[in-house]
Amino acid sequence: MEITKDISIEELVEQVPEAVSFLREKGIVCLICGEPVWGTLYEIASQKGFSDLEIEELVEGIARLKDKG
């Protein structure tokens, strides 16, 4: 599956486990007590104040992580 801003956090964690560390470094926590938070990447990043451009950059960074894996 392609990584987009509309991917659920649960799917993201399953597909690209490395994304958890990547997002945490950016200030986005996507796991709480070992469970994925609810919502999409876009929703979570928006709540943290990321702009649409910054969210697209996150998507691109995660896609690169997935390609490496």
Q: List pLDDT tens digits, range 47-67.
A: 999 999 999 999 999 999 998
The helix/strand/coil state of 15 is helix
pTM over 0.85: yes
The whole-angstrom separation of Cα 39 and Cα 30 is 10
The whole-angstrom separation of Cα 3 and Cα 7 is 6
- Of the candidates 21, 16, 29, the residue with the CA atom closest to the CA atom of residue 63: 16
Write down the pLDDT at residue 63: 95
Per-residue pLDDT tens digits for 13-46: 999 999 999 999 999 988 888 777 899 999 999 9
Write down the pLDDT at residue 6: 97
DSSP label at 40?
B
